[in-house]
């Protein structure tokens, strides 16, 4: 009989990670798990995880032995019940949608707000929405947190959706529903080392895929910005790229790398895009999901940080510019940040990784 028993949680086919629990005293297992490239310890859950591949699952089973583990189904997250709207609620939702559309919010924001507002409408079914108090709304949010385990971001989205209704549809004072929000997390942006960037940009064999990932990093772009780039937005004489209608509906210019320009010329000769720089197989804009798939495939092939996303390349662009001595003001303009405070977060990443800053331990004279 094994002295330790591990629990492997059965990962869904689309899950990115395999989570598992090992006993505290399983020291040898822990040492070998730490040596795995993609291993990560989730301190809040007291669980380990690795990237969800057949090879990693087989490695874990071999490590634990035939009788050293149990397969467990993860607890299902409670689904929010769906309730059809009655005619009165449909009229309210239609007016709500009209108001938010006239505000020229993005399609994504409109969809997010509508979904949050529908939950609010159905929860307070048969109520006069003018009479619902702030305490009742906070009770509704608390119910979603406790029963449905909604994330901080979803909590904020639902609060924003409700506040929009009272402030812009019912024209209540802005301070009327000052709803309690979750404490904002102070997380640092996930970045890649230059060696990791080289690996991931070299991973795709397809020229279009390589150009997409390289352009995101070389110009510090968001996925949505890459999709909107037209052929005419590449200004080779000025060595800059025009970004039309970025986040906040702001236009800007960003840098065009000489290496990137050479790569794009090869790509243009081969693919001959008609209007958009990157087009789908049948023409039209490339899709967000396609770029995400390209990145995941490249990340898996290059075996880089498993938590990286396409946006990590944008973070890495900013951090690497800082290490080269480029001023924050220039980086702010290149990224399209409205506030310098948003850009300043990269200084924290640089300070931690900067070789100039040494731990005081390195200057202590210690005995053997």
Q: Taking Cα atoms as reference points, which of 275, 284, 312 lies closest to residue 296?
A: 312
User: Max Cα separation, the chain?
Assistant: 80
**How many C-beta neighbours within 10 Å does residue 188 have?**
11
CA distance 196 to 193: 5
Side by side, the strands of the sheet bearing 47-51 are 40-42, 47-51, 17-21, 6-9, 69-72
β-pairing, 47-51 vs 17-21, is antiparallel
CA distance 43 to 28: 19
CA distance 139 to 160: 16
**153 or 110: whose pLDDT is higher?**
110
For range 111-137, the mean pLDDT: 90
Question: How confident is the model at residue 77, as a pLDDT?
Answer: 61
- Measured CA to CA in angstroms, residue 199 lies from 193, 297, 360 at distances of 10, 12, 33
Name residue, tokens 């990443």: 349
For range 211-238, the mean pLDDT: 94
Question: How confident is the model at residue 198, as a pLDDT?
Answer: 93
**80 or 132: whose pLDDT is higher?**
132
For range 14-31, the mean pLDDT: 88
The answer to whether residues 61 and 6 touch, using CB atoms and an 8 Å cutoff, is no
Q: What percent of the chain has pLDDT over 70?
A: 87
**Could you report the per-residue pLDDT of 288-332, keeping only the tens digit for each?**
989 999 999 998 888 887 778 899 999 999 889 888 888 888 888
Backbone angles phi, psi at 105, to 5 degrees: -70, 155
Q: Identify the weakest region by mean pLDDT among 42-56, 126-140, 229-243, 350-364.
A: 350-364
Q: Identify the weakest region by mean pLDDT among 30-34, 125-129, 187-191.
A: 187-191
Mean pLDDT of the chain: 85
- Measured CA to CA in angstroms, residue 206 lies from 86, 240, 275, 287, 311 at distances of 51, 25, 20, 16, 20
**Could you report the per-residue pLDDT of 155-188, keeping only the tens digit for each?**
889 999 999 999 999 998 876 566 677 666 566 5
**How many C-beta neighbours within 10 Å does residue 229 have?**
21
Taken in order of first residue, the domains within the chain and their CATH numbers are 6-72 (no CATH), 87-169 (1.10.150.130), 194-353 (1.10.443.10)
- Token digits of residue 268: 């243009």
Question: How confident is the model at residue 163, as a pLDDT?
Answer: 92
Q: What percent of the chain has pLDDT over 90?
A: 42
Question: How confident is the model at residue 201, as a pLDDT?
Answer: 94
| Consecutive H or E run containing 49 | strand 47-51
Instruction: Strands of 232-285 (E only): list them.
Output: 234-235, 240-243, 252-255
**Could you report the per-residue pLDDT of 93-107, keeping only the tens digit for each?**
999 999 999 998 888
Question: How confident is the model at residue 280, as a pLDDT?
Answer: 87
Hey, which residues does 21 pair with through a beta bridge?
7
Question: How confident is the model at residue 368, as a pLDDT?
Answer: 52
Could you tell me the pLDDT band of residue 237, with boundaries at 50, 70 and 90?
Answer: very high
235: Cβ contacts below 8 Å, ≥ 6 apart: 241, 242, 253, 256
Instruction: Catalogue the active-site residues.
Output: 222, 247, 311, 314, 337, 346
């Amino acid at each position: 009989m094994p002295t330790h028993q591990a629990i492997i949680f059965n990962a869904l086919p689309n899950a990115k990670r395999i989570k598992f629990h090992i006993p505290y005293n399983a020291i040898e297992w822990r040492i070998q798990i730490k040596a795995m490239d993609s291993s990560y310890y989730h301190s809040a859950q007291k669980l380990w995880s690795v990237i969800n591949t057949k090879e990693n699952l087989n490695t874990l089973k071999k490590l634990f032995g035939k009788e050293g583990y149990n397969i467990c189904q993860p607890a299902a997250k409670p689904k929010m019940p769906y309730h059809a709207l009655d005619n009165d609620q449909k009229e309210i939702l239609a007016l709500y949608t009209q108001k938010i559309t006239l505000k020229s919010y993005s399609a994504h924001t409109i969809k997010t707000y509508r979904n949050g507002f529908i939950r609010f409408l159905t929860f307070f079914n048969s109520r006069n929405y003018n009479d619902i108090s702030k305490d009742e709304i906070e009770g509704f949010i608390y119910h979603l947190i406790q029963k449905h385990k909604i994330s901080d971001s979803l909590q904020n989205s639902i609060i924003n959706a409700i506040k929009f209704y009272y402030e812009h549809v019912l024209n209540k004072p802005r301070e009327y529903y000052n709803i309690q929000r979750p404490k904002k997390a102070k997380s640092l942006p996930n970045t890649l080392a230059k060696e990791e960037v080289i690996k991931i940009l070299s991973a795709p064999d397809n020229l279009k895929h390589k150009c997409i990932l390289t352009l995101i990093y070389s110009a510090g772009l968001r996925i949505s910005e890459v999709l909107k780039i037209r052929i005419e937005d590449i200004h080779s004489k000025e060595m800059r790229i025009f970004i039309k209608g970025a986040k906040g509906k702001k236009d800007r210019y960003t840098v065009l790398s000489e290496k990137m320009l050479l790569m794009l010329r090869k790509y243009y000769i081969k693919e001959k895009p008609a209007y958009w720089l990157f087009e789908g197989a049948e023409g039209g804009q490339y899709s967000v999901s396609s770029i995400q798939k390209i990145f995941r495939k490249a990340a898996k092939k290059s075996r880089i940080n498993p938590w990286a996303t396409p946006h990590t390349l944008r973070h890495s662009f900013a951090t690497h510019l800082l290490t080269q001595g480029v001023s924050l003001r220039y980086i702010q303009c290149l990224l399209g940040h409205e506030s310098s405070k948003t850009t300043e977060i990269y200084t924290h990443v640089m300070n931690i990784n900067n070789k100039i800053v040494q731990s005081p331990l390195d200057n202590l004279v210690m005995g053997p």
